[in-house]
Amino acid sequence: MQMTDEMLYDTRLVERHIARGFTTREAYVARLTDLKDAEARSESIKVSVSNVGVTNVRAKITGEHE
């Protein structure tokens, strides 16, 4: 299976691809810079969060980045 640009620069995988030499940070930054603004196609939504009684929650360290 050939890796597409979407797979190569997927935000969940790009750090791994840079580390393995599949792409460079410079190429990734250039791709981000070339992206078109999609604000005109977006819409805002309002979200209401209910209290479901969950307390004492701890974040699990996964080593992944946003």
At residue 49, the pLDDT reads 80
- What is the share, in percent, of the chain residues with pLDDT greater than 90? 61
Residue 60 lies inside a defined structural domain of this protein: no
Round to whole Å and give the CA distance between 52 and 66. Answer: 26
Q: Is the predicted pLDDT of residue 65 greater than 70, yes or no?
A: no
pTM for this model (two decimals):
0.57
Task: Tell me, yes or no, whether 59 lies in a domain.
Answer: no
* Predicted confidence band of residue 66 (pLDDT cuts 50, 70, 90): low
- What pLDDT does residue 41 have? 95
17 in Cβ contact with 31 (< 8 Å): no
Residue 18 lies in a domain: yes
In a domain, 12, yes or no: yes
In a domain, 15, yes or no: yes
User: Is 31 contained in some domain?
Assistant: yes
7-35 average pLDDT score: 95
What is the extent of the structural domain holding 18?
5-35
Q: Report the chain's mean pLDDT, rounded to a whole number.
A: 88
Question: What is the count of structural domains for the chain?
Answer: 1
- Report if residue 26 sits inside a domain: yes
